[in-house]
């Protein structure tokens, strides 16, 4: 099996460092607060659960106020330039907390901190950042914090080559209703625009028994929704010497006892098999929800992106999913303005969106990422042209979302109550089995399942009433 676990000595070092920080904090009177700031995808959300658990074991109390904190961990995302600039701006603002707590330890972790260019920049221009650590070193957080605390020196834990799967150090088993459960780390696909394989490393699957055990524990702790995570969940298990794939894993978790829903992100169209759809159709606990990013409707652009499928192959799997699971809710990601994309290529993307009718679409303008192949490609399209395409796609999707939502009016669903809705109209937020947002008047208990009738619709949500 290639997914190597942490060595005994590595675990012992991590635990010893946690204890050392704990003893140091205990010797200083008062409460000691830690603030964890998370950017990016659900993978980072899952990593932040680990960070919070580690902070608690070190003796910190978690806070939502960075000004109160003595430890700030910024878990960053590198997927687009905009995401990176936002993080750097916020890290800059956090330096103000240093005035409150001169011993403040700011840790920059995650995908952005795994990029050598960013590490250099943090070194030169952000002197108050005390620890910089790459994604694959997260299990060394306590050691790095202890080193910064005990030596007063800046720590650069940036060798990202450690490809271990961390099972032995617990994550924060908070009692939230939604449990993010990583099934694999890294990515082998090297889509030409994407930084993820460079910052997260190669694919490593967790062992099936570890994933199933974690799902069981989360269900026992009250989770009502298990979301399996990976950059390409369909290639789960390929690196393990066992005859077991993602459909097997999905079926094993969907067969667990208990009252919960099961979802997963992200599927890759080149590996999304009919067997996967058949498994989804066979188990009532699996949400009829499929997020299947297509990125472009043009075969020429898909080839340049190294995606490994054609628009026709993509549509074939969508059609099969609709045939087997008529109520399926489809969502996707798309990139506009890939280098060399022509107006004709864009029209093919537009047509694909019209043809499929996604529930919602995550639309991104191409952002060149240093080190990727696409960043070196000729990119003659003016930014204004890309913006015009982007706006057209957003407008089209707005109409489609409205139509699909209006078509739900009068239908009934079992919805899972999430909690108070923080938007203007207030009330309660709930989710249909296919993960559509439903807004209900009044207050309802999170985790409860209620039968509702849909009475209205907006572009982003359904309006419902309990029956
Ligand atoms: N692994 C998933 C997949 O392949 O579908 C998605 C991972 S990525 C974190 C999320 C989305 O960000 C991608 O689907 C893509 O649409 C977008 N993305 C990634 N790199 C990008 C770039 N350089 N510029 C613009 N969008 C990008
Ligand atoms: Fe990036 Fe492609 Fe991997 Fe998704 S599959 S993380 S887009 S390289
Ligand atoms: Fe961002 Fe890293 Fe996720 S680059 S999108 S946080 S894998």
Q: What is the pLDDT of residues 162-220, one digit of tens each?
A: 677 777 677 766 667 999 999 999 999 999 999 999 999 999 999 999 999 999 999 99
> pLDDT digits over 395-409, tens only?
999 999 999 999 999
Mean pLDDT score of the chain: 93
Measure 197 CA to ligand 3 centroid, in angstroms. Answer: 10
State the average pLDDT over residues 439-453. 95
CATH of the domain at 23: 3.40.50.12160
Name residues contacting ligand 1 (CB within 6 A). 41, 79-80, 193-194, 196, 231-232, 266, 268, 293, 295, 333, 335, 364, 366-367, 369
Statement to judge: residues 100 and 21 lie in one domain: yes
For residue 149, being part of any structural domain is answered with yes
Last residue of a domain, one of 127, 157, 187: 157
Residue at which a domain ends, from 407, 436, 451: 407
Q: List residues near ligand 3 (CB under 6 A).
A: 40-41, 43-44, 77-79, 111, 195-196, 199-200
Give the CATH number for residue 273: 3.30.750.210
Distance 422 CA to ligand 3 centre (A): 26
What pTM does this model have? 0.94
CB 161 within 8 A of CB 185: no
Q: Given pLDDT bands bounded at 50, 70 and 90, which one contains residue 279?
A: very high
Residues 76 and 88: beta-carbon distance below 8 Å: no
pLDDT band at 344 (very low <50, low <70, confident <90, very high): very high
Q: How far is the CA of 258 from the centre of ligand 3 (A)?
A: 31
The 3-class SS string of 304-363 reads HCCCCCCHHHHHHHHHHHHHHCCCCEEEEEEEECCCCCCHHHHHHHHHHHHHHCCCEEEE
State the ligand closest to the CA atom of 374. Answer: 1
Asked if 76 and 206 sit in the same domain, the reply is no
Atom index in ligand 3 nearest the CA of residue 200 equals 7
Of 171 and 365, which is predicted with more confidence? Answer: 365
Rg (CA), the chain: 23
Determine the pLDDT at residue 10.
Answer: 82
Tokens in use for 451?
């039968």
Residue 167 lies in a domain: no
Q: Is the C-beta atom of 197 inside 6 A of ligand 2?
A: yes
Whether 321 and 368 map to the same domain: the answer is yes
Supply φ then ψ for residue 315, to 5 degrees.
Answer: -65, -30
- Ligand 3 centroid – CA 311 distance (Å): 25
Indicate if 376 and 249 belong to the same structural domain: no
**CB distance 36 to 62 below 8 Å:** yes
Instruction: With respect to residue 241, please indicate whether it lies within any of the assigned structural domains.
Output: yes
Residues of the chain above pLDDT 70, percent: 97
Task: Give the bridge partners for 461, in sequence order.
Answer: none
Per-residue confidence (pLDDT) for residue 3, from 0 to 100: 59
Same domain, 188 and 278: yes
Q: Which ligand is closest in space to the CA of residue 188?
A: 2
CATH number of the domain residue 445 falls in: 2.40.50
Same domain, 231 and 245: yes
Average pLDDT of the residues in 344-360: 98
Nearest ligand to residue 43 Cα: 3
116 and 51, same domain (yes or no) = yes
Are 277 and 351 in the same domain? no
Q: Residue 247: pLDDT band by 50, 70, 90 thresholds?
A: very high
Provide the domain limits for residue 340: 290-407
pLDDT at 351 over 60: yes
- Evaluate whether residue 202 is within a structural domain: yes
Final residue in a domain of this structure, among 123, 157, 191: 157
User: 392 and 305 in one domain?
Assistant: yes
Query: What's residue 9's pLDDT?
Result: 81
On whether both 106 and 196 belong to a single domain, the answer is: no
Q: Residue of the nearest CA to atom 7 in ligand 1?
A: 231
Residues 271, 200 share a domain? yes
Instruction: Take atom 2 of ligand 1 and give the residue whose Cα is closest.
Output: 231
* Separation CA 203–CA 194 (nearest Å): 15
pLDDT band of residue 422 (cuts 50, 70, 90) is confident
Mean pLDDT of 130-154: 95
| CA 266 – ligand 2 centroid, Å | 9
Whether the pLDDT of residue 268 is over 60: the answer is yes
Ligand 3 atom nearest to CA at 75: 6
Within this chain, do residues 462 and 416 fall inside the same structural domain, yes or no? Answer: yes
Q: Could you tell me which residue, 184 or 83, shows the higher pLDDT?
A: 184
324 CB-contact burial (10 Å; exposed 0-12 / middle 13-18 / buried 19+): middle
Please state the rounded mean pLDDT for residues 383-398. 97
Count CB-CB contacts under 10 A for residue 237. 23
Two structure tokens written together for 103:
């011993």
Query: What pLDDT is recorded for position 174?
Result: 61
d(CA 143, CA 149): 10
Whether the CB of 190 sits within 6 Å of ligand 2: yes
CA of 312 to the centre of ligand 1 (A): 21
Q: Whose CA is nearest to atom 5 of ligand 2?
A: 189
Q: How much is the average pLDDT of 36-56? A: 93
By alpha-carbon position, which residue is closest to atom 1 of ligand 1?
Answer: 231
* Residue 34 structure tokens: 């830690």
CB proximity list for 78: less than 8 A, separation 6 or greater: 40, 84, 110, 111, 112, 114, 115, 118, 195, 199, 369
pLDDT confidence of residue 83: 86
Query: What is the tens place of the pLDDT at every residue in 5-24?
Result: 777 788 888 999 999 999 99
CB 449 within 8 A of CB 417: yes
Pairwise CA distance, residues 327 & 436, whole Å = 12
Q: In this predicted model, which residue has the larger pLDDT, 109 or 169? A: 109
Give me the percent of the chain exceeding a pLDDT of 90: 86
Q: How many domains does the chain have?
A: 4
Which residue's CA lies nearest to atom 2 of ligand 2?
191
- Residue 39 alpha carbon, nearest atom of ligand 3: 6
Please, which contacts does 351-356 make with residues 24 or more away whose CB atoms are closer than 8 Å? Answer: 351/297, 352/294, 352/297, 352/311, 352/314, 352/315, 353/297, 353/393, 353/396, 353/397, 353/400, 354/396, 354/400, 355/315, 356/315, 356/318, 356/330, 356/332
Tally of CB atoms within 10 A around 28: 10
Q: Per the domain annotation, does 338 fall within a domain?
A: yes
166 found inside a domain = no
**Is 304 among the domain residues?**
yes
Using the mean position of ligand 1's atoms as its centre, give its distance from the Cα of residue 194 in Å: 6
Question: What is the Å distance from ligand 3's center to 22 Cα?
Answer: 31
Which atom of ligand 1 is found nearest the CA of 293? 5
- The answer to whether residue 163 sits within a structural domain is no
The C-alpha atoms of residue 169 and residue 131 are separated, in whole angstroms, by 20
Token duo for residue 402: 């409205």
């Amino acid at each position: 099996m290639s997914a190597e676990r942490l060595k005994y000595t590595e675990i012992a070092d991590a635990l010893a460092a946690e204890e050392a920080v704990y003893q140091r904090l205990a010797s200083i009177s008062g409460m000691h607060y830690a603030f964890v700031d998370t950017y990016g995808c659900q993978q980072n959300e899952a990593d932040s659960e680990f960070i919070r658990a580690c902070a608690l074991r070190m003796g910190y109390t978690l806070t939502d106020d960075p000004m109160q904190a003595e430890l700030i961990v910024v878990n960053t995302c590198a997927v687009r330039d905009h995401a990176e600039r936002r993080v750097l701006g916020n890290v800059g603002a956090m330096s103000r907390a240093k005035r409150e707590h001169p011993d403040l330890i700011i840790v920059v972790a995650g995908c952005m901190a795994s990029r050598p260019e960013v590490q250099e920049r943090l070194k030169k221009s952000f002197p108050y950042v005390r620890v910089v650590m790459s994604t694959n070193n997260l299990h060394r957080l306590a050691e790095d914090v202890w080193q910064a605390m005990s030596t007063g020196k800046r720590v650069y834990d940036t060798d990202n080559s450690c490809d271990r799967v961390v099972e032995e150090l617990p994550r924060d088993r908070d009692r939230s209703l939604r449990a993010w459960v990583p099934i694999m780390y890294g990515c082998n696909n090297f889509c030409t625009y994407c930084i993820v394989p460079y910052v997260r490393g190669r694919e490593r699957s967790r062992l099936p028994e570890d994933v199933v055990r974690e799902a069981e524990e989360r269900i026992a702790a009250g989770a009502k929704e298990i979301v399996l995570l990976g950059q390409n969940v369909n290639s789960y298990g390929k690196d393990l010497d066992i005859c077991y794939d993602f459909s097997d894993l999905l079926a094993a978790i969907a067969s667990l006892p208990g009252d919960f829903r099961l979802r997963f992100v992200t599927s890759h169209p080149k590996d999304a098999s009919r067997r996967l759809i058949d498994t989804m159709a066979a188990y009532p606990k699996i949400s009829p929800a499929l997020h299947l990013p297509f990125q472009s409707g043009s075969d020429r652009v898909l080839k340049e992106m190294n995606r490994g499928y054609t628009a026709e192959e993509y549509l074939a799997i969508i059609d099969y999913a609709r045939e087997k699971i008529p109520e399926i809710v489809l969502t996707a990601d798309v990139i506009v303005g890939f280098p060399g994309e022509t107006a004709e290529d864009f029209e093919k993307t537009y047509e694909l969106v019209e043809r499929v009718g996604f529930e919602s679409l995550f639309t991104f303008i191409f952002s060149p990422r240093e080190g990727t192949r696409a960043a070196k490609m000729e990119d003659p399209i003016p930014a204004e042209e890309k913006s015009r395409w982007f706006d057209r796609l957003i407008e089209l999707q707005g109409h489609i979302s409205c139509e699909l939502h209006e078509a739900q009016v009068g239908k009934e669903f079992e919805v899972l109550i999430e909690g108070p809705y923080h938007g203007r109209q207030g009330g309660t937020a709930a989710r249909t089995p296919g993960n559509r947002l439903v807004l209900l008047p009044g207050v309802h208990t999170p985790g409860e399942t209620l039968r509702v009738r849909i009475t209205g619709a907006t572009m982003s949500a359904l309006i419902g009433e309990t029956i």
